[in-house]
Amino acid sequence: MGGGMSDIFLPTHTSGVVFSPHAKFGNYFMFAHGCHVGMNGYKAPIIDDYVVMFGNSKVVGNSHIGSYVVLGANTYIKDMDIPSHSLVFGQYPNVIIKEDRNNKAEQILKERFCL
């Protein structure tokens, strides 16, 4: 995973999307309308491969999002580490992280990217 935007990504609806040029994105990154990936102070997020951000979800600051993660609509992550294979809901500081036992992230991405 290099710096900046990934080589393979899928913008499903780009209206209102804001991404910091300092954030790092992995491949197979899918995002929807209103998503925000931004700075908190001088720290920017790192988003690994195979991540889905649904509408109006936000990741800011010193955050690391692992691989095969789904961020539900309106989720807000601030200065947090999210483990791989997770489903994430809620807003900082009351974020709910569930293990993705049914590989939902993989299912969504296979369907959308035709893998």
The Cα 24–Cα 13 span in angstroms is 20
CA angle 6, 10, 12 (to 5 degrees): 145
Q: Taking the CA of residue 11 as centre, how many other CA atoms within 13 Å lie in the half-sphere pointing to its CB?
A: 14
Give the mean model confidence (pLDDT) for residues 26-31.
90
Residue 26: name the closest of 54, 7, 44 by CA: 7
Q: How confident is the model at residue 1 (pLDDT cuts 50, 70, 90)?
A: very low
Those residues whose C-beta lies under 8 Å from the C-beta of residue 106, and which sit 6 or more positions away, are: 50, 68
| Domains located in the chain, CATH noted | 9-101 (2.160.10.10)
Return the pLDDT at 4.
67
Per residue in 57-106, pLDDT tens?
A: 999 999 999 999 999 999 999 999 999 999 999 999 999 999 999 998 88
Higher pLDDT among residues 20 and 11, named by residue = 20
Per residue in 84-98, pLDDT tens?
A: 999 999 999 999 999
